[in-house]
Amino acid sequence: MIIGVPKEIFPDERRVALVPRGVEALKKMGFEILVESGAGINADYGNPKYEEVGAEIVTNTRELWSRSDIIVKVREPQSSEVALLKSSGTVISFFWPAKNGELLQQLSAKKATVLAMDCIPRITRAQKMDALSSMANVAGYRAVVEAAHAFPHFFTGQITAAGKIEPAKVLIIGGGVAGLAAVGAAKGLGAIVRAFDTRLAVREQVESLGGEFLELDFPTEDGEGGGGYAKTMSDEFLKAELKLFAKQAIEVDIIITTALIPGREAPKLITAGMVESMREGSVIVDLAAEQGGNCTLTKPNEVVVHHGVTIIGYTDLPSRMAALSSRLYSTAIVHLLDELGGNDNYEIDMEDDVVRGALVLNHGSVTWPPPKPRNPGPAYSVDTGPRPDDEAKRTAKKEVAEVSNQPTMTNALVKMILIIAAAVGIIFVGTTMPESFLSHFTVFVLACFVGWQVIWNVKPALHTPLMSVTNAISGIIIIGGILQLSQPEVNATVILGAAAVLLAAINVAGGFLVTNRMLAMFRR
């Protein structure tokens, strides 16, 4: 089968559907790859890079579409591109079927098969194909970069000879993939970060990144919807939500909004009055601009200044980091084609929950929206918390585990035999081995016991389990070496003992240093 990679024609779209690394992976699956000349140039992937991995460069756009069995794109096909698609061809791209009904009918008339990357179900097995989350991750990070560019002050606080500089205060609305990426990026720049989400389970994730989670006094209402997405909240909750945002708007310098509800226009969370209450120089980055915006003053693809507040409504944030976004998107495409069976076993399996979820058109027949997955597994975006039936299952499993962990007669007998065997072995060594061996054997046993106990019992907060094991072994070596150094004369044993102490001490100190650096990444 032939896969075609056309140049994106959507305005300001810089990404490319397949990068050279992806081409190489698909070639190994048996696919033939055609790449339109210049398709990857805006993402820093020139034609020579594709030719190096075996792709054929096609200069004529019509030829590429006519020869390709599968077209892979980033943006949904435009009307001019639909005309180029051969009958019964396949398109894989972002598609947004809920708002592209006319496009859906056009492709249906061509008996096309369409797999929408934005419809990949958010189940654990599909994480490797979740291009939507990877693009949201890039957008969240880039939103902070754009905010920093427009904000006329530092993010981090400083004390200088000219006076104290207060850190920027950032409010992030929405704790999905984009929101969490924004929390991490803003915190990394030194800002005071606050975040809000209707899903209470997001609290732990926000706090793990160093942000402060804002919560309303609505303990009986959670915003968790299907698949880890948010749901529409009650009017009372929305009123309390807006009141919270109005209070925060007066205090913060930057607001980043990411709130979306699948299949609906973005909720209006920032009013004109809130914008006018913010300090001059403040910034709002609206990641929901393409779906109408969370701010009432947002204009898609524009930067608006209102009462001294900059409102950024860019809809191409992932495209502004085209090289990285293309690589992430390409990886998702490769995994999806692998899921479809590669070249040799390519098949649209209607029984596969992932494939069925992404399938929008099947040989011209509309298959969207898909039925709910039969065995979806857990959504991986957030922890939705236990349900009553889940709690009962866990209790039953716990009881079974407790019973299985109780010592049985067989286990007790095995332990007794091992103890007796160890005792017989020690007696045998003590009665048959020479005195010189016994002294070294005593040192070895003592070193094992003392060294292991000293290092292994270090609190987990100061030591990772893996490092504990390695450092415990080093502790054994240190104790043994110290005991060897007690000899009155300097000989080869003493020299080797000194070297062992030195090297093991370096290893232990390095272990603690590495552990400290690892744990520092998770400190708030």
pLDDT at position 77 is 97
pLDDT at position 468 is 63
Tell me how far apart the alpha carbons of residues 212 and 399 are, in angstroms, rounded to a whole number.
38
For residue 394 the two structure tokens come to: 């866990």
pLDDT at position 124 is 87
Spans of the chain, pLDDT less than 70: 218-233, 263, 374-411, 430, 435-440, 443-444, 446-473, 475-476, 479, 483, 486-487, 515, 518-524
pLDDT at position 494 is 76
Alpha-carbon dihedral angle through residues 317, 321, 325, 326, given to the nearest 10 degrees: 120
For residue 296 the two structure tokens come to: 């009432």
Strands 56-58 and 158-160: unpaired
Residue owning tokens 């054997």: 441
pLDDT at position 492 is 76
For residue 339 the two structure tokens come to: 């899921």
DSSP designation for 70: E
CA distances from 404 to 203, 335, 397, 408 (A): 36, 40, 10, 9
The full set of domain ranges for the chain reads: 2-119+322-366, 137-313, 431-520
Tell me how far apart the alpha carbons of residues 191 and 203 are, in angstroms, rounded to a whole number.
18
Tell me how far apart the alpha carbons of residues 99 and 83 are, in angstroms, rounded to a whole number.
20
Tell me how far apart the alpha carbons of residues 7 and 17 are, in angstroms, rounded to a whole number.
9
Q: Is the pTM of this model over 0.85?
A: no
Strands 365-366 and 359-362: antiparallel
- Closest to 282 measured CA to CA, from 169, 393, 433, 384: 169
- Closest to 446 measured CA to CA, from 435, 438, 458, 456: 438
Residues 6+ apart with CB under 8 A from 226: 379
Tell me how far apart the alpha carbons of residues 308 and 459 are, in angstroms, rounded to a whole number.
52
pLDDT at position 447 is 64
2-119+322-366: which CATH architecture? 3-Layer(aba) Sandwich (3.40)
Positions marked catalytic? 122, 127, 130, 133, 229
Q: Which CATH superfamily is domain 137-313 in?
A: NAD(P)-binding Rossmann-like Domain (3.40.50.720)
Peptide bond into 318 cis (omega under 30): no
For residues 194 and 169, the answer to whether their CB atoms sit within 8 Å is yes
pLDDT at position 402 is 46
For residue 124 the two structure tokens come to: 């654990």
Peptide bond into 219 cis (omega under 30): no
- The neighbour count for residue 347, using CB atoms within 10 Å, is 9
Residue 138 CB burial class (10 angstroms; 0-12, 13-18, ≥19)? buried
Residues 6+ apart with CB under 8 A from 178: 136, 137, 139, 140, 143, 258, 287
Tell me how far apart the alpha carbons of residues 342 and 3 are, in angstroms, rounded to a whole number.
11
